[in-house]
Chain A
Amino acid sequence: MTQMVDLPQVRGVKNIPIEEMFTSGHRTCQGCESALTMRLMVKAAGDRTIVTGSTGCMYVANTTYYTSPWVVPWMHTQLGSSGAAATGTAAGLKALMRKGKVKDEPINVISFCGDGGGIDMGLSGISASLTHPEYNHLVLLYDNESYANTDIQVSGSSPWGANSTFSPPGKVHRIMNTRWKKNMVGMLAAGHPDCRYLATSCGSYGLDMTNKLRRALTIGGPTFIHSIDPCPKGWDYDPKFSHELGMLAVETGLWVLYEIVDGELFLNGPSKAIAKGMKQRRPVEEYLSRQGRFAHFTEEDTKFVQSKVDDMWERWWGPGVIPINVKED
C-alpha cells in the first residue's frame, strides 16, 4: 500500500460522517461504551477498511451469526493475536498489491482488542506489530478494565482494589487486587521509537477520538490507541452514567488524554487544561464513589488512590505518561 486512505481531520462534531459502519445486530449491554468506541472507530475509518477483532466482549456480543453489525469486512482473531492479525492482514495486502494480484489501493487495517487480550495476553504481539514501519495499521485497545465478557475477572488493566469475580473483597482480605493498572501507551511509546502515533482516548470525547483515529490511520506505519470505556456491568453503576464516568475519569486525572506524534507529546482536552493550570483536578473520590466495584473502599483506600494519581501528575515524566521522575544533577 503506497498511500493511505484520505481521512481529513474533522472540524466540529457536526462534521463527523453520518454513515454508520457498525449498525444494529449487536447485543452489547445497555450503556456499553466499548460499543460506542467500535462505532466511532469504523465511522472515522469509513468503508475502505478491514477490521479484525480479538476475543472479548466486542467479539462475543457483536457477531452473533446472521446478525453481524459490521458493514465493513470483519474477522475474528484469537485473544492474544490483535498485533499479529494487524501485521498479517497488512502484510498480505501489501504483497498482493505489490505483485499486482489485487488492485493497489489504500485500505485501512484496524485490529482491536480488549484489555485482557491486549494488555495481558497480546502484549508481545502488539509490541512486535509496532516494530514494522513497513505495514500500515492501527491496533485499538478498548479498555473496560476487566475480563468483562467472561464474568468480570480482574485483568492487568483493572484498577487497584476493584471488586471483580477474581478479586472479591472478603472477610480477611478487603483488597484482593493489589496491582496497579498497567501503563500501556507510555510503555509502548517508550519501547517502540519507530511507532509514529500513539494516543489515549475516551468515548466521552467523541470528536477527539474521531480525529485521533484518523491521525492514526493516515500517518503511516503501525499505530496504537488505548481507549478507556466505562462498563456498567463490570464497574457496577446505572448505565445512564457511562458518559459521565468517562468524563470523571479524565477530570479526576486518573485517565490522561494525550497523543504522541512522531515522538512529541501533546495533552488533549481537559487533561491539557489541567496541566496548564486552567482547570483543577477533581478528587478521585468523585469517580470512585460512583461505582459499585469500589463500594468496599475505606477512606484510606481512597486516599491511597488519590496519592497515586497525585504522583502521576506531579512526579511522572509527563502526566500519566512515563512513571519516571527525571532527577536533576
Chain B
Amino acid sequence: MSTTIEKPEQELLISGSEAIAIACSMADVDVITAYPIRPYDTVMQYVSRLVADGEMDCEFIVAESEHSQFEIVKHASAVGARVFCGSSGVGWFYAFEALAVTAGLRLPVVAMVGNRALDDPGAFGTEHNDALAVRDLGWMLNWVATAQEALDTALMAWRIAEDPRVFLPCAISADGSFLTHSQVLTNVPDKSLVDKFLPRYDRGDKVLHPDNPITVAPQVNEDWLMEIRRQTDDGMRRAKGVVEEVHEEFRDIFGRGTPSPFFEEYMTDDAEVVFVGMGTLALPVRVAVRQMREQGIKVGFVRIKWFRPFATEEIKACLSRFKAIGVVDRDYSFGSPDFGGVLYNDIRAALYDSEKKPLVISFIAGLGGREVRGQNVVEMKDVMYEALATGKIDRDKQWIGVRR
C-alpha cells in the first residue's frame, strides 16, 4: 500500500525514553503521573521538560508512590482522560494492586515499563520479570527494540487500548539502559499525521460524570464475577484483531513497520535453527546470526513483539517451519516446566498441537542487564545442533553466560 506522508519527518538523535515522551506530547495525553525509579524514569524527566517548556499541555503529577501513581491515572482514565504512566522493577510491583484493578476495570491506561531486575539483591539492569508479572491480568504487553519502535508502538498503544472493542491497559516494555538510555536516530512524525491516526479517547456510556451517574465496580461476588472475567477475555481476544488493524493503518499513514505486528523475522527463509526472544536482545543475536550465516550455518531469529495478546496461530505457523527453536528468555520462572523461562513455556505450549513440532529449547540469558555476546549466541547454536543430532536436550546448558 502506498504511503500518504504529507510532510517530511524530523530525524532526531533520541533515546527510547525520549521517544515515548515525544509520543505523549503528540498524543495530547491529559494526565501523566511520575515516581522516580531507574531506568524508566528518564521518560518522566523528558515529559517534565516538555511540560515546563510549554510544549505539552497535561496534568503532570509527581505521586508519592507507584501505587498512587497508577491509581491516579486509573481514576483520571475513568473520567475520560487520556493517560500515561510507567515504572520499573520493584516499583512496578509496588503498584501491583493498582495494575490488577486497572485491567479489571477495563481502563485504557498506557504505561512504559523500563525493564529492570527485581532487586534484592540490588540491580539496575534489564530483566523481563517485572512486566511479565501482569501477563495473566488483562494487560496487553509488548516489547520494543528501538527508539523508533518505542515511539511508533506508543502511538499505537493508545489507539488499541482506547478502542471500545478492547478497553484494556497496555504496557510498552523497553529494556533498561539498552533502550531507555541509548540514543539512536529516530524519525519523529509530523503532528498532523498523528492527529489523523489517533482519535480522541471516548469512554462513551462508561464515563464517570454527573451527567452519566453510573456505579463503577460494585460488589458482584459469585453472582457476576465470572461473566465479567469472560468479558475481559473477550476484550483480549478482540484486541488481537485490533492490533492487526491498527498496525496496518499505521504502516499506511506513516510508511514504516514490520510486515507482521506480532513478530519480526530475521534471516529465517531457509533457516534450520532459530532463536526466539524479545526486546533489545535482537541486536547481539542478529549480529551473531549474520556472522554464522557467512559461515553457511542456517540460523535465524524471530523477535516476538506482542506477548499479550499472544498471536498463537501466527507464531505457530512461523515457528513450525524450523527444526529447532531456542527461546532466549531474559527472565526466569523458577520451578516451571523444564525450569524454562516465561516466553519458552508459552512458545512451547503454542507449538504443542502443530503438525510439525520443532525441538524447543530453553535458554536463560542476559539477566540483570548482563550483556549477551556473540559467543553466547554461538554457544546456544551448538546446544541446538547437538540436540538435533542426538535427539536429546542437554538441560545443563540452559543458563548462558553464567559463572559456575
Residues of A that sit less than 8 Å from B by CB: 47-50, 52, 59-60, 63-66, 68, 70-78, 80-81, 83-85, 87-89, 91-96, 98-99, 101-102, 107, 124-125, 127-128, 132
Query: How far in angstroms is the closest Cβ of chain B from A3?
Result: 15
- Given the complex of chains A and B, what is the CA–CA distance between A101 and B224 in angstroms? 34
Cα(A66)–Cα(B218), bound, Å? 8
Given contacts A68-B215, A73-B213, A99-B57, contact A92 B68 (CB under 8 A): no
Name B49-84 residues within 8 Å CB distance of A: 57-59, 61, 63-65, 67-69, 71-81, 83
Judging by beta carbons under 8 Å apart, are A77 and B30 in contact?
no
B interface with A by C-beta (< 8 Å): 28, 30-31, 57-59, 61, 63-65, 67-69, 71-81, 83, 97-98, 101, 200, 208-210, 212-220, 223-224
A contact residues around B210 at 8 Å (CB): 47-50, 72-73, 107
Which residues from A are CB-within-8-Å of B219? 59-60, 63-65
Which residues in A have their C-beta under 8 angstroms from that of B79? 50, 89, 92-93, 96
Q: Are A83 and B68 in contact (CB under 8 A)?
A: yes
Instruction: Return A47 CB to nearest CB of chain B, in Å.
Output: 6
Beyond known contacts A50-B210, A80-B67: 10 more, CB 8 A cutoff: A70-B213, A70-B215, A74-B215, A75-B75, A76-B216, A91-B31, A92-B76, A99-B28, A107-B210, A125-B71
Residues of A within 8 A of B28 (CB): 99
| A89-B76, A102-B209 given; A128·B31 CB < 8 A | no
Q: How far is the CB of A77 from the nearest CB of chain B, in Å?
A: 7
Contact partners of A89 in chain B: CB under 8 A: 75-76, 78-79, 208
CA distance A107 to B208 in the complex (A): 12
Beta-carbon contact of A65 and B80 below 8 Å: no
Q: Determine the distance from Cα of A60 to Cα of B151 in the docked complex, in whole angstroms.
A: 42
Interface of B is mostly: mixed
Which of B101, B200, B215 has most A Cβ within 10 Å? B215
Chain B residue numbers with a CB within 8 Å of A102 are 80, 209
- When A68-B215, A75-B75, A78-B101 are in contact, do A91 and B59 touch as well, CB less than 8 Å? yes
Which residue of A66, A77, A92, A107 contacts B77 across the interface (Cβ within 8 Å)?
Answer: A92
Given contacts A76-B218, A94-B59, A101-B200, contact A88 B212 (CB under 8 A): no
Q: Contact check: which of A70, A91, A101, A124 meets B64 at CB < 8 Å?
A: A124
Q: In the complex the two chains form, is B81's CB within 8 Å of A92's CB?
A: yes
B61, A132: Cβ atoms closer than 8 Å = yes
Across the interface, name the chain B residue whose C-beta is closest to A93.
B79
**Which of A52, A92, A127, A132 has the largest number of chain B CB atoms within 10 A?**
A92
Q: Contact check, A75 vs B30: say whether CB atoms are below 8 A apart.
A: no
- Cβ–Cβ contact A124 & B75, under 8 A: no
Partner of A91, one of B61, B212, B215, B223: B61
Candidate in B65, B83, B210 with the most chain A CB atoms within 10 angstroms: B210
Partner of B75, one of A70, A85, A94: A85
- Contact A78 to B97, CB < 8 A, known contacts A65-B223, A85-B71, A125-B71: yes
26 A-B pairs (CB sep. < 8 Å)? A48-B210, A50-B208, A52-B75, A60-B219, A63-B219, A64-B218, A65-B224, A73-B213, A73-B214, A74-B216, A80-B67, A87-B61, A88-B31, A88-B75, A91-B59, A91-B61, A92-B31, A92-B75, A92-B81, A95-B59, A96-B80, A101-B80, A102-B209, A124-B64, A125-B65, A125-B71
Which residues of chain A are within 8 angstroms of B57 by Cβ–Cβ distance?
A: 95, 98-99
- Provide the residues of chain B in CB contact with A65, threshold 8 Å: 218-220, 223-224
Query: Which partner residue on chain B sits nearest A46 by CB separation?
Result: B210
Residue pair A88, B72 in contact (C-beta under 8 Å): yes
Contacts of B67 in A (CB 8 A): 78, 80-81, 84, 125
Task: Report the nearest A residue to B29, measured CB to CB.
Answer: A95
Which residue on B lies nearest to A70, using beta carbons?
B215
Q: Give min CB distance, A157 to chain B, whole Å.
A: 21
Residues of B within 8 A of A68 (CB): 215, 218
Q: How far is the CA of A128 from the CA of B98 in the complex (A)?
A: 17
- Give the chain B neighbours of A72 by CB distance below 8 A: 210, 213
Given the interface pairs A95-B31, A96-B80, the reply to whether A76 lies near B217 with Cβ below 8 Å is yes
* B residues less than 8 Å from A78 (CB atoms): 67, 71, 97-98, 101
Which residues of chain B come closer than 8 Å to A107, judged between CB atoms?
209-210
Report whether B209 and A84 are in contact in the complex, using a CB–CB cutoff of 8 Å: no
> Which residues from chain B contact A87 at a C-beta distance below 8 Å?
61, 68, 72, 75
Contacts of B101 in A (CB 8 A): 78
Bound-complex Cα distance A70 to B57 (A): 34
**Distance of A6 from chain B, by nearest CB (Å):** 14
Give Cα A67–Cα B224 distance, bound, in whole angstroms: 13
CB <8 Å contact, A91 and B80: no
Which residues does chain B contribute within 8 Å of A60, judged by CB atoms? 219
Q: Are A84 and B80 in contact (CB under 8 A)?
A: no
User: Are B215 and A92 in contact (CB-based, < 8 A)?
Assistant: no
**What chain A residues lie within 8 Å of B214 (beta carbons)?**
73-74
B203 → A minimal CB distance (Å): 11
Query: Ordered nearest first, which 3 A-B pairs have the shortest CB separation?
Result: A88-B75, A92-B76, A84-B71
B75 with A128: CB separation less than 8 A: no
| Inter-chain contacts of A83 with B (CB < 8 A) | 68
- How far, in Å, is A87 (CB) from chain B's closest CB? 5
* Chain A: minimal CB distance from B71 (Å): 4
Residues in B whose Cβ lies below 8 Å from that of A88 = 31, 71-76, 78
By a CB distance below 8 angstroms, the chain A residues around B68 are 81, 83-84, 87, 124-125, 128
- Residues of A near B75 (CB, < 8 A) are 52, 75, 77, 84-85, 87-89, 92
Instruction: Tell me, in angstroms, the Cα distance from A91 to B74 when the chains sit together.
Output: 11
CB of A55, distance to nearest CB on chain B (Å) = 10
